[in-house]
Amino acid sequence: TVKEDEHPVHIENMKGDIELKNVSFEYEAGHPIIKDVSLKVQAGHMFGIVGKTGAGKSTIINLMARLYDVTGGEITIDGVPIRKIAFDDLRRNIGIVSQETFLFIGSIADNIRYADPDATMEEVIEAAKSANAHEFITKLPEGYNTKVGEGGISLSGGEKQRISIARAIIQKPNILILDEATASMDTRTERKIQAAIDNLKQGRTIISIAHRLSTLRDADMLCVIENGELKEMGTHDKLIKEKGKYFELYKLQSEALQFINE
């Protein structure tokens, strides 16, 4: 349903100043999912989104990438209304490593160069190495030529996620959106993924959704979404001092960790 403007504005290189002004959204008429959310993501910063499952976090990033149009309010990127921006520029500048990784039928190499079909094999391998995926790929029967998707071999959730990180590394987006997987992974895989993501973060505008709050320790700004509403916004230190919702979420996780350590 999303349509490109007839006279789209071109932004070759987005800086990544993203603003939501009184944004509302519903997937189905009469069922508001996002309610009057206003926030600013500053270019070059890392912006964290936290909140319980079903709160509307993934919906917000879908709107930021214009996978859907807002039903109320407005979103701008670098001051330009997102509805006016050329599709090409949105796709090139915004990369998403999402909760559900999509692999299509083809080789591993093709899946990695999806965002840049002209990428050379050297570039594909380089990206896979930074994504901590090279090791498992080389152990597959046909390495980078191994077919995945229907009829091909299947990969684990953690392996798929590293493929999608490699894909984002090739894309080199100015704005990188990370939607953390809820599926639990073993600690070793999780560390590898975290290290891959750290490589990717350098010099970009980052919007990161995390369930494990420790992933957001580097965030410049954090917001808490609850039931489609923006409840809190600030730095980690500020939100901890305020002893509100972020503090409660943080305390719950620290207590759980403490329990494990005992």
Ligand X SMILES: Nc1ncnc2c1ncn2[C@@H]1O[C@H](COP(=O)(O)OP(=O)(O)OP(=O)(O)O)[C@@H](O)[C@H]1O
Binding site for ligand X (CB under 6 A): 27-28, 33, 51, 53-59, 99, 182
* C-beta of 121 vs 183, nearer to ligand X: 183
| Alpha carbon 107 to its chain's center | 24
Look up residue 33 and give its two tokens.
């999912």
* C-beta of 105 vs 183, nearer to ligand X: 183
Q: Is 58 in the site for Mg ion (CB under 5 A)?
A: yes
* C-beta of 57 vs 134, nearer to ligand X: 57
The neighbour count for residue 158, using CB atoms within 10 Å, is 20
* C-beta of 120 vs 184, nearer to ligand X: 184
Which entry of ligand X, Mg ion, none binds 59, CB below 5 to 8 A by partner kind? ligand X
Length of the chain measured in residues: 262
Which entry of ligand X, Mg ion, none binds 173, CB below 5 to 8 A by partner kind? none
* C-beta of 41 vs 177, nearer to Mg ion: 177
Which entry of ligand X, Mg ion, none binds 56, CB below 5 to 8 A by partner kind? ligand X
Q: Is 101 in the site for Mg ion (CB under 5 A)?
A: no
Place of tokens 């930074």: 130
| Alpha carbon 150 to its chain's center | 25
What is the nearest approach in angstroms of ligand X to the Cβ of residue 129?
29
The torsion of the CA quartet 140, 144, 145, 148, rounded to 10 degrees, works out to 70
Amino acid at residue number 109:
A
What is the nearest approach in angstroms of ligand X to the Cβ of residue 39?
15
Which entry of Mg ion, ligand X, none binds 101, CB below 5 to 8 A by partner kind? none
Rounded Cα–Cα distance for residues 255 and 131 (Å): 31
Rounded Cα–Cα distance for residues 24 and 9 (Å): 24
Which entry of ligand X, Mg ion, none binds 53, CB below 5 to 8 A by partner kind? ligand X
What is the nearest approach in angstroms of ligand X to the Cβ of residue 57?
3
| Cβ burial, residue 157 (10 Å; 0-12/13-18/19+) | middle
Which entry of ligand X, Mg ion, none binds 32, CB below 5 to 8 A by partner kind? none
Rounded Cα–Cα distance for residues 74 and 199 (Å): 32
In the complex, the residues that contact Mg ion under the rule CB under 5 A are 58
